[in-house]
Chain A
Amino acid sequence: MKYQLTPTEKKLVRIAWIVGLLVLSAIVVVELFMHHHAHFEKDGITIDTLPEFYPIYGFGASFVLVVFAKTLAIALKRKDTFYADD
């Protein structure tokens, strides 16, 4: 049977979503105006100074890692009794 959240829990989940989205929005706004220094300026690499570079990089890296992991799993995933079945 699916567990029904209590009214307090529903309220907490709602607050968590609102706080989470507010924090993310705040970062997006601050990143828009924040000027990060280039880590490899001498090499002419300035991509990390672009607005919103780090939020996009954090999201993108995680996205790529999950997609890569799921792709790898197609070949390497086995039931967790794989070795025990021997």
Chain B
Amino acid sequence: MQMTDFPPALVLLSGALLLPFLKGKLRWVVAFALPVLALADAWQIITEGADSYIPFLGMQLNPVHVHAPTPVFATVFAIMVAGGLLFSMNQKTEHELPAVCVYAGGALGVLFAGDLVTMFIFWEVMTLGSTVIIWSGRQADSEGSGLRYFGLHAVGGVLLLMGIVIVVQQRIASGDPDPLAFRHFESMVSLWSSFGWDSAGMWLVMLGMLVNAGAPPFSAWVPDAYPEGSSSGTVFLSAFTTKTAVFTLMVAFAGVEPLIYLGLWMALYGIVYAILENDMRRILAYSIINQVGFMLVGIGVGTKLAIDGASAHAFAHIIYKALLLMSAGSVLAATGKRKCTELGGLYRTMPITMWCGIIGALAISSFPLTSGFTTKSMIAQSVTEQAALLADAGLSHNHLIVTWFILEAASAGVFLHAGIKFPWFVFFQKDSGLRPPDPPWNMRAAMIGFAAICIFLGVFPGPLYQILPYQAEAAEYAKVVYGVGHVLIMLSLLLFSGLAFFVLLPMLKRTETITLDFDWIWRRFIPHFWRDVLLPLLQGLDRAQKAVLEWLPSSASDDGNLPAQVRRRLPGNWAVSVPVFVIVLMLLTYLVVYFWLLPA
């Protein structure tokens, strides 16, 4: 077996098997070797460009394949793992490190998946790893939010698998020589507005991917689950799930118009909810949705420059978002507090954490000389270029004009909700009386390293542009990115957004509240509907059954007749019922797909 036959994912997954048996320094030496080896392997494969195949259950799987955006995503994933590990060295929990390897391994596996089955397998591996990271968080609601996260992603996985089954079946029926291939769904670009059988599989695949991207109505899992990770766990969580979804959407659905509208919705939704949020890590979680929204717009536009912009923005976003969450994680680790109402004035004793947080905040706001400026602006540029092309061709492009104006407004809004709000409420605002020191050296080093990358990519975007999917377009863009007009537009938008922040500060004063979202349906409505309507109904039926037929088994929803020893071992009702519900749903869905949906 050659090096190029070995999927980089397996480097990290092997590490996950090995790390639980290692202690002390050796554990960390091996841990740090993993992303380095994975990156070396990834680039060996990227350079050679050769595919590898393995037989599996009668199929030819293709776990080593390089898609156009694979190099840029693989590189940033490896950097993220290394930086995150450095930040997490003080973490006491034993489970987090192997779970991170499983999670990042799954993500890397998706990047190199040449077929839909391999992609799906690694997709699910990622869900398992990330769920364990949330459960390792030891926050107040880690267990519950991890369970909800798992349930929702299992549903997303079912949608994805249903879509894959239908798509493969359709390809086989049409005589496609490579029905399993994970490639662009060309027909989706024109078929998206039809909801017939022809586009059903593609729609389901896209929906499955959109669940992981945090698209509406599933956005709420991001602020629900990510802040429940540990101070370091959330740093990892922010990097892989949503960005892997961005990658897969980019490969499969570039140019599909609804993604533009979803992206715009997410960009605005993230701002509005973050404005109202009090928990510093939930603010940052909402801003992930906001930023992924920009990427989805790029994917929806689908031109070469737009795909470059979305890829470059994903790279920059992973780094600055990790930096922001490292800054927030350092505050959490030092103070044990997450709410803006309990924080403030930390600039006095945490200057490094503050400066790194500010650099991350400037980068997410696309401030000139930071990575956000040299990447996100590509997406807006692609919108205007595409609009001009369509105008020349006499085609409708009003939606792109509206898109551009909303993107500019959203760019201003990013500065408002993340660029100023996060550093202001955490490090300045009022004196909370807290005087924690900056975190230990490794956490400071990780933050400083990531802050340096944010500035480096803002000043010298060339190396990043060289690994983008379409280098010629990126090289052209490099010539105009620092044009005077371009810089001035961004400064005007951002600084006057900053002025609005301080003018409206009384309205932005934090309260100990949350803002309801779609997750109200599965967190409040369904449990209450079960408790107050369905359960009494079933219990009533049960009593009626008993009265009529004494031999019928007693209520399945009541474990009261189990032996006391067994009952003690059972977790709460919801801990059992959610996985059972999900598994039953999956089985039913498979049955539906196999026996009804598939044409004979």
Contacts and interface: CB of A to CB of B under 8 A. Distances in A.
Interface of A: 2-3, 20, 23-24, 27, 30-31, 34, 36-37, 39-40, 42-43, 45, 54-59, 61-70, 72-73, 76-80, 82-84, 86
Contact of B276 (A45, A64, A69, A86): A69
B493 A73 contact: no
A42 B388 CA distance: 7
B409 interface: yes
A16 B122 CA distance: 50
B491 A57 contact: no
A73 B77 CA distance: 37
Contacts, number: 150
Nearest to A59: B496
B30 to A, nearest CB: 39
Interface stretch (B179-187, B470-478, B497-505): B497-505
A58 B412 contact: yes
A40 B387 contact: yes
Given A23-B495, A59-B499, A76-B515, A54 B489 contact: yes
A84 B243 CA distance: 30
B504 A66 contact: yes
Contact of A70 (B278, B485, B507): B507
B89 interface: no
B140 A84 contact: yes
B272 A24 contact: no
Contacts of B408: 57, 61
B513 A62 contact: no
A73 to B, nearest CB: 5
A40 B385 CA distance: 9
A86 B268 CA distance: 30
Interface of B: 140-141, 268, 271-273, 275-276, 278-279, 339, 345, 384, 387-388, 391-392, 397, 401, 404, 408-410, 412-413, 415-417, 430-431, 433, 484-485, 488-489, 491-501, 504, 507-508, 511-517, 523-524, 527
A62 B495 contact: no
Contact of B416 (A39, A57, A65, A84): A65
Contacts of B493: 54-55, 57-58, 61
A54 B524 CA distance: 43
Contacts of B507: 66-67, 70
B404 A40 contact: yes
Nearest to B519: A83
A20 B494 CA distance: 12
The prevalent SS among residues of A at the interface is: helix
Contacts of B409: 57, 61, 64-65
Contacts of A2: 431
A62 B497 contact: yes
Contacts of B527: 86
Contacts of B384: 39-40
Nearest to B433: A3
Contacts of A55: 492-493, 495-496
A42 B530 CA distance: 58
A36 B493 CA distance: 14
Contacts of A42: 388, 391-392
Contacts of A68: 272
A45 B279 CA distance: 41
B520 to A, nearest CB: 9
B492 A78 contact: no
The residue in B384, B387, B484, B499 that gathers the most chain A C-beta atoms within 10 A of its C-beta is B499
A77 B515 contact: yes
A3 B500 contact: no
Given A27-B495, A34-B488, A42-B388, A78 B513 contact: yes
B400 to A, nearest CB: 9
Nearest to A82: B514
B488 A54 contact: yes
